[in-house]
Each structure stands twice: as C-alpha cells, then as structure tokens.
Structure 1
Amino acid sequence: MDYKDYYKILGVEKAASTDQIKKAYRKLARQHHPDVNPGDPKAEQKFKEVNEANEVLSDDDKRRKYDQLGADYQRYQQGGGRGPAGGFDWSQYSQGGRAGGGNDPFGGADFSDFFSSIFGGMGGGQRPPGGQRAGAGPDYQAELELTLAEAFQGGPRTLTVNGKSLRLTIKPGVEDGQTIRLRDQGGPGRHGGPNGSLFITLRIQPDPRYTRTGDDLTMDVPVSIYKALLGGEQVVDTLSGPVKIRLKPDTANGTRLRLRGKGFPRYQHPEQIGDLYLNLTLSLPQHLTEQEKALFHQLAALRPD
C-alpha cells in the first residue's frame, strides 16, 4: 500500500504545533467540503484525505506512531524498497494485516487501507458490518452578531441553527471575525461516526463612539471652549461606566489623553485590560445671544491679533 504523508496533505511542517494543525485542517476542510463542492469527486477525495490526516496528527498517540513509521519508511526507501530495510520488522505496525503481497509492505492498496492497517480503521475503530466506514458528520457554519458592549462584557447568548436552539457563553474580549467551535453540534456522523462541529463566526457591530485597535479604544470627546480655557471636570462615558477627568486650563484642541485600564479586556485573559485614548475636540457655542456676542467682542478687543 502507498505511504501517505499526512503533513504534506495538511500543508504543515513536521514540527507543527497542535494549534497549527487544527488551523490548517479547518481551512482545508471548509475549502473541500462536499457541501461547498457538490458533485466534485476530486474535492470529495481531498476532503477525505484531509479528515484522515487530521484524525492522525491531532491525536498524540497516533501521531507518535505515525512519526516512527515515517522514519522507518525512509529507511525502507533508502534500501531500495525491497524486503525489510536494515532488518526492520514492518509487522509491528500492522493492525489489520498487510494489504499487499510479496516482500513489499507498501504495495497494492489505497490510503484508507493504509490507515486501517496502521490504526485499525477510521476514528480508531473497526470497519462496521457491510464494509461501510464510520465517518465524521459535516461541519456547520453560522454567524452571531454582537454589539461592542456585548463583546466587552461577554455572557450567555442563544443561537438557532437548523431549527435547534443553542445556548453558548461568549468570553469577554472577543474580536470581529473570530470563530468559535462547538463540538458535536454539526451534522450527524455516518455509520456510528462522531457528529461534525459548528463553527460560529462573530460579527461585532461598529460603535459610533469608539474605535477599537486590539485591546485599546479611542474616542472623541467634545469639550466646551470655556472648560478648555479655564479648566474643569469632564465626564467621559467608558464601556465600564462614566469616569470624571480633570482638564487643565488652556487645554488645546486635539489634546490626547490616556485612561489606563479603560479599554478592552484581552480574550482569555480578562484581568488584562487595554487603555482608552481620548481625543479632545473643542466645541464652539452656537446661537449666541446679543449679550454673549458683545462679551466676545470685548474679549477680542482685549486680545487683538
């Protein structure tokens, strides 16, 4: 039977981390999913290969065994592919019996038989009666809209997918476009296989008050000309509640202030909070009375250009 390079199938290095393997698998599984490529046998075949590669590389025990097999297979190739390489006993890997004949342990079967011979069948189990293989169910995709305040606070949310109501907890600090995976909430498995997963993409609605950059927020704060000239207190509405700040006299238009710990919580680390930056913009008085105009004329006369 043919040796399968699962690392090459997923497009990752042999030293790839578990997270890198998961990321590569999700990307390829979505790209080649039969629901996305109806009637495309090549995409279906690729989808099967990607799932099989993930089945091995995402399992520590299977991955260790597969890595050892790969090292021995290199010795086998270096020996010309004839007979045991350097006295190596290939039977130690076989759980379902050799598929090929003669002295070539890698002759005559497809990749699924390769997997079954080494690991005993898809998902680590045996082939069900009738020769049908167990397989994971299809993954589902969904989107969930959140306000910036909801992304800041986190908390329970309810989502309906395919007529099923699901309750999930959003952690504080999620980002726009972030994907959450709910295991076993996808389509049903085939022939006793596991259910697929539900991937929920979070869409955070823009907030007219704030601009988010990572864990930091920026907002414009209008300040009256009188308070900018004479100084005083200014109330700022942050996502964690109103905060009073004190302005110094002669505060210039465009002054930038920093409020530590008033930004966004870091995802998975809510105790780490970003900063809030304030851009102070002067707000000119409108609809002046005759008396106010007269006073401004007096002030202008005191400070001629």
Structure 2
Amino acid sequence: MATQTKDYYGVLGVKKTASTEEIRKAFRKLARKYHPDVNPGDKKAEEKFKEISEANDVLSDEKKRKIYDQFGFYSDNIDPAAAEAAARGGYGPGAHGGRTHGGGHTQEVPFDFGGFDFSDYQGGQEQQAGGGFGGSFRDIFSGMFNRGGASAARGPQPGSDVEYQVSIDFWTAIHGGVTRLEIQRQEVCPTCKGKTTTGGSVECPECHGSGQVTQMGGRMKFNIQCPRCGGSGKVQHTCPTCDGAGVVTKRDPLEFRIKPGTRDGQRIRLAGKGNAGTGGGPAGDLYLIIKVGTNPVFTRTGDDIYVTVPITMTEAALGAKIEVPTIDTHDGGGRTQLKIPPGTQSGQKLRMREKGVPSAASEGKRGDQIVEVKIVVPKVQDERSKEILRELAKLNPEDPREGLFAGV
C-alpha cells in the first residue's frame, strides 16, 4: 500500500465526513468511468483507476481510514494498536514504537523501530533540544514506505459496474419480450477462485526469506516488515491463469426479459452481474441502457402514443366516425373508431383514453393515444364539383384571414 501523502477524499470527490456507503458509491461511479475495460490502452485512465482503487481500499475500511485520518497517510506496516495509543498519548498493547520529544512530553509513534540504525544519521537532521524530528518526520516515513517492493495483499475489493447499450424494436418495448446479447465482463478466476494464488509457497524473492527488508529514510536505515510477503518470508505461487489478478475476462451470453412499457433510455439494473470482485469482494452490477427503435406510423412520448390521421374535407366539416390504427391493431386487435366532431380543423388533436402504452411503473394502467387530424383537400377537376364548391363559398362567406390583419 502506497504511503506518500495523498488526499484520498479529494481523489474520490467526497467530504471527510462522508459515510462508508457514500465513499463506495463515489468509487463505483469513478470506476465505471476509468476502468481499463472501458478505456483499453489508455494509460492515464489505468493510473486513475489504480489511484481511486487505492483511495477506496483505505477509506472504505474503518481501521485503515482511522489511521489515515490520524496521520495523513496509511501503511500496512503501521501497528493499529500503537496508532490508537498514539492518539491517546500513551502506549498500546504490543506496540513497538519510537518516541518524539518536545513540549515537555514523550509520545509513542506507531512504527516498528526494531531495526532502527542511527549510525548514518548525522548533521542538521539530528535531534534538536526540545524539537524532536520536527516537521520532516512524516515526510521521512512517507518516502520510506513508498519505496518498498510489491504491495502486501489487499483486502476484499468490490467489482466495478458494467454498462451495455441494448437496442430493441418498437414493439418489444411496448409489449415486452425476451432479449439476448453477449457481454464481456470479468469473472472470478476458475483456477484460483479469486485468491490470486494456487497454493504452495516459495522463499520470498524480496526479503530472501527473512521477513524484513532494509529501507532508507533520509540518512536513517530501517528494518521493516517485507511488504511483499507480509513478514512471513514466503510467498505463494501466482495463479498462472489470471496472472495474480483473481479475475479473468470472459464473453458470456445473457438472456433477460423486457417489461411491457419499457422506455427509450431506461436503465435496467441486474444486481451482481457486473465485474467480479477480488479477494472475496462482491461483484458489481450490470446496467443495460435501452435504445428503442422507431415506427413509421406511431410516435411515442412516455406512455402516450401519437399518430397523424388524414380526413376528408367533408368529414371535417360535417363530422364523422372513422377507423384509426392503435398499438393493439399490431397484435391482431380490431380497428378502433374515433368520432370526428363537426367543424374539426386541420392539426386538431383528439384524445383516445387508455389506448397508449402499458405503464411499466403502474401495473394495469395505460397511456393515451393522441390523434392529430390532417384535412386532405381534394383535387377538383370536373365542373359539377367546382360549381358545388362555389355555391358552398356563397353560403359561407366568412373570411378566415380577417383577424390576421387586425393587429397590423
């Protein structure tokens, strides 16, 4: 675990007072954006993903977060008991700490100084009267731990969420149905079962079996617990299938049901179907973003259906009962009659109650169908028809454009 001073709260974009759930939610949101599967070959995104994973690993763990909040950085080599004692100004059980002197008191520092070597520690950084190590104390330890070898084993990490856009046709969105697609996601390694190792151990190549490594902090030498083997002196064989990742990338067929009334842009959540977690962590979720196709006759807005229906000039003037298509007609339903009131104007909208889309949110409810009428003027060619229209104009002499000039 890196120990250089980092603003983990800033990395995840949360306040220092954020709850564990808020921290995990922020991590998942960023993980969806920067995950290597979403940004193949993007080194910056890969580094950003590592950074937010590191921040989440510390802040989502209560004990690690407490140490981070206390010292401004975190290391697996910090003794939690001694850290607790340091916070109280005393000694913790089993803590092997050093002391800083200043202000007339002695304070326990939560680090193991068993291999502390002051032989090379000379010059301007020696202890000053009443001053201790001064302001450089944290910088020394931050740099020291950050130069270690491979990180110690991390705790359970949740898998990231996965998003897929799914295209369905107009009628499947309205009436529902089963959709199939193939998705790519990370699954638990079948060889190591997510443990990253395959059992059996060999001498740690970092500490050569001693369990400790020597680090330099300025001019000081420290013997610290080996970050690779955790002090055991041995490391397990890395799983050859997943190369120690604990997960493998696979493409799997997926079958899921579309509910009647599903809307364009709707997000369908399949819990636990995202990328597998590592170290026993939970899997992320799979989000399916629905893209609904269009129809040449109907237009949909929410649960309402819109359709334009042509009518004749006489139907508009005298009124009529006409047959109009509805979405039920697609399933073999009968044609539906619509009453056209006398004097209907072109562009006028008539509402057909509960002839729209079944509501996905409220079972048993439906939207409406909105019919926009369009008056079709006939092409009059015979003299008899023209004579009748001239007579009609004499009987109805009103000028529909009269009001147009009133405000000019």
TM bracket, shorter-chain basis: 0.5 to 0.7
**In the superposition, relative to structure 1, how do residues 206 and 48 fare at CA in structure 2: closer, same or farther (>3 Å)?**
same
TM-score w.r.t. length of structure 1: 0.63
Larger radius of gyration: 2
User: 29, 32, 37: which is aligned to 2:31?
Assistant: 29
Determine the C-alpha separation between the residues in 2 that align with 1:67 and 1:235: 71
Determine the C-alpha separation between the residues in 2 that align with 1:18 and 1:269: 30
Deviation at 1:214, TM superposition (A): 3.3
CA RMSD of aligned residues (A): 4.8
TM-score w.r.t. length of structure 2: 0.50
**In the superposition, relative to structure 1, how do residues 201 and 16 fare at CA in structure 2: closer, same or farther (>3 Å)?**
farther
Match of 1:296 in 2: 389
Partner SS state of residue 122, structure 1: coil
Contact 1:172 1:265 in 2 (8 A): yes
Matched, 1:103 2:99: no
Matched, 1:159 2:154: no
Determine the C-alpha separation between the residues in 2 that align with 1:89 and 1:226: 98
Partner SS state of residue 203, structure 1: strand
Determine the C-alpha separation between the residues in 1 that align with 2:180 and 2:252: 10
Partner SS state of residue 269, structure 1: coil
Contact 1:144 1:201 in 2 (8 A): yes
Contact 2:170 2:295 in 1 (8 A): yes
User: 321, 337, 341: which is aligned to 1:244?
Assistant: 337
Identity of aligned residues (%): 35
How do residues 82-231 of structure 1 correspond to structure 2 at under 5 angstroms?
Answer: 84-85=86-87, 87=88, 103-104=109-110, 108=142, 121-123=154-156, 136=159, 141-161=163-183, 164-182=252-270, 185=273, 198-231=286-319
Deviation at 1:170, TM superposition (A): 1.2
The residue identity in structure 1 corresponding to 2:300 is: R
Matched residue count:
270
Match of 2:202 in 1: none
Deviation at 1:228, TM superposition (A): 1.4
Match of 2:77 in 1: none
**In the superposition, relative to structure 1, how do residues 9 and 302 fare at CA in structure 2: closer, same or farther (>3 Å)?**
same
What per-residue deviation string (whole Å, max 9, x for no partner) do you get for residues 98-117 of structure 1? Answer: 9x99625896567xxxxx9x
**In the superposition, relative to structure 1, how do residues 261 and 40 fare at CA in structure 2: closer, same or farther (>3 Å)?**
same
Matched, 1:253 2:346: yes
Deviation at 1:168, TM superposition (A): 0.5
Deviation at 1:264, TM superposition (A): 3.6
Contact 2:158 2:276 in 1 (8 A): no
Contact 1:183 1:197 in 2 (8 A): yes
Partner SS state of residue 206, structure 1: coil
Deviation at 1:187, TM superposition (A): 6.0
Partner SS state of residue 291, structure 2: strand
**In the superposition, relative to structure 1, how do residues 203 and 196 fare at CA in structure 2: closer, same or farther (>3 Å)?**
same
Richer in helix (by share): 1
Determine the C-alpha separation between the residues in 2 that align with 1:90 and 1:285: 100
**217-226 or 246-255, larger mean C-alpha shift:** 217-226
